[in-house]
Structure 1
Amino acid sequence: MQGNLNEIDIRSILQLIELGQRTGELYIQKTNLPSLSPLKDFNEKFWYLFFVGGQIVYAADQSNNSLLRLRDYLQPYREQKQAELDQLSWNATTTLNTPEYSYLWCLLEKNILTPEQGRKILQKMVEESLFDLFSLLYGSFIFEMASPLAPQLTAIEIAPLVTKTIRQVQQIKQLYPVIQHPDQYFIIANEKQLRGRVPPKAYLTLARWSEQKITLRQLFRYLNRDLLAIALVLYPYAERGWIQFVNKEPQHQTSQVKPKKTDKSLHIVCIDDDLTIGKSIELILAQYPYKFTLITDPLQSLSQIFQIQPDLILCDIAMPKLEGYEICGMLRQSSAFRQTPIIMLTGKEGLIDRVKARMAGATDYLTKPFGASELVLLLEKYTHSPITALY
Structure 2
Amino acid sequence: MDKTMMSFAETSSFSQLIQEFNNCIQLQYNGELKIKNVNGKVYTFYYRLGRIVWATGGEHPFRRWHRQMEQYCPQIDIAQMRSQFMDLSIDYWEYYILETLYSQQKINRETVNSVTENTINELLFDLIQEAKYGEIHYERQQQIILDSPMSFTNVQMALQEMQQLWQAWSAAGLAKFSPNLAPVVCQPEELQQQVNPQIYQMFTSVMTGKDTLRDLAIKLKQNVLPVTRSLLPFILKGVIELIEVPDLPMLQLVHSKNNSSSAPKSPLVACIDDSPQVCQMLEQILVKNGFRCLIIQDSIQALPNLIQNKPEIIFLDLMMPVINGYEMCTQIRRISAFTNTPIIILTSHDGLLDRIRTRVIGATEFMSKPITVDKIMAVIRKYVHSATQ
TM-score (norm 1): 0.55
Could you tell which deviates more after superposition, 184-193 or 209-218? Answer: 184-193
Look up the SS of the partner of 1:50 in the other structure: strand
Give the structure 2 partner of residue 107 of structure 1: 101
The C-alpha deviation readout for 1:233-283, integer Å capped at 9, x for no partner, is 333444566x41322244544463499xxxxxxxxxxxxxxxxxxxxxxxx
**Contact map agreement 1:124 1:221 (CA 8 A) in 2:** no
Q: How does 1:256-267 map to 2 (within 5 A)?
A: 256-257=278-279
The amino acid of 1:113's aligned partner reads I
Q: 1:13 aligns with which of 15, 20, 28?
A: 20
- Cα pair 1:30 1:138 within 8 Å, conserved: yes
Compute the displacement of 1:384 (Å): 2.2
Amino acid at match of 1:73: Q
Residue equivalent to 1:86? 79
Aligned partner (choices 65, 70, 73) of residue 70 of structure 1: 65
Code of the residue aligned with 1:86 in structure 2: it is A
More divergent stretch after superposition (168-177 vs 206-215) = 168-177
1:185–1:215 contact (8 Å) kept in structure 2: yes
CA distance in 2: counterparts of 1:223 and 1:54, whole angstroms: 36
Change in CA separation of 1:88 and 1:135 when aligned onto 2, cut-off 3 Å:
same
Paired with 1:16 and 1:244, the residues of 2 have a C-alpha distance of 42
**Equivalences for residues 35-46 of structure 1 within 5 A:** 44-46=40-42
Aligned partners of 2:209 and 2:243 also within 8 Å: no
The alpha-carbon deviation at position 11 of structure 1 amounts to: 0.7
Tell me by how many angstroms 1:49 deviates: 0.3
Residue 57 (structure 2) aligned to one of 61, 69, 91: 61
Correspondence for 2:151: 154
CA distance in 2, matches of 1:77, 1:171: 25
Contact 1:10 1:133 in 2 (8 A): no
Equivalent of residue 48 in structure 1, options 44, 51, 66: 44
Q: Kindly provide the amino acid, as one letter, of the partner of residue 120 in structure 2.
A: V
Match of residue 125 from structure 2: 131
Determine whether 1:247 maps to 2:243: yes
Q: Residues 133-172 of structure 1: CA distance to partner in whole angstroms, max 9, x if unpaired?
A: 1122212211122226144221111112212212322332
Aligned mates of 2:175, 2:136 — CA distance in 1: 27
Stretches of structure 1 lacking an aligned partner (at least 5 in a row):
33-43, 260-310, 312-330, 340-381
Shift of 1:111: 3.6
Sequence identity percentage? 17
The DSSP-based 3-state class of the residue aligned with 2:207 is helix
CA shift for structure 1 position 129: 0.6
Q: Distance in 1 between matches of 2:100 and 2:127?
A: 28
Residue 104 of structure 1 aligns to a residue whose secondary structure is helix
Counterpart secondary structure, 2:183:
strand
Matches of 1:94 and 1:156, distance apart in 2: 24
CA RMSD, Structure 1 to Structure 2 (Å): 4.0
1:326 is matched with none
Structure 2 counterparts to residues 350-365 of structure 1, below 5 A: none
1:4 is the counterpart of 2:1: no
Alignment CA distance shift 1:26-1:255 (3 Å):
closer
Task: Please report how far the alpha carbon of residue 31 of structure 1 lies from its aligned counterpart in structure 2 after TM superposition.
Answer: 1.2
**1:211 partner SS:** coil
Measure, in 2, the Cα distance between the counterparts of 1:237 and 1:109. 47
Distance 2:222 2:27 in 1: 32
Q: Is the 8 A contact 2:181 2:213 kept in 1?
A: yes
Is contact 1:75–1:222 with CA below 8 Å preserved after alignment?
no
What SS does the corresponding residue of 1:134 show, helix, strand or coil? helix
The count of aligned residue pairs is 263
Rate the CA distance shift 1:178–1:237 in 2: closer, same or farther, 3 A: farther
Match for residue 369 of structure 2? none
Q: Is this contact kept in 2: 1:26–1:143, CA < 8 A?
A: yes
Pair 97,49 (structure 1): closer, same or farther in 2 beyond 3 Å: same
Kept after mapping to 2: 8 A contact 1:184/1:245:
no
Higher relative contact order at CA 8 Å, sep ≥6: structure 1 or structure 2?
Answer: 1
Deviation digits for residues 97-137 of structure 1 (CA, Å, limit 9, x no counterpart): 52222122223333443322222111111011111111222
Give the aligned residue type for 1:69: R
How far apart are residue 192 of structure 1 and its match? 7.1
Aligned pair in 2 of structure 1 residues 127, 2: CA closer, same or farther (>3 Å)?
Answer: same
Q: Offset of 1:45 from its aligned partner?
A: 0.9
Residue 98 (structure 1) aligned with residue 51 (structure 2): no
Question: Aligned to 2:129, what secondary structure does the other structure show?
Answer: coil
TM-score, scaled relative to structure 2:
0.55
Question: What code does the residue aligned with 1:87 have?
Answer: Q
d(CA) in 1 for partners of 2:139, 2:285: 26
Cα distance, 1:26 vs. partner? 0.1
CA distance in 2, matches of 1:59, 1:195: 44
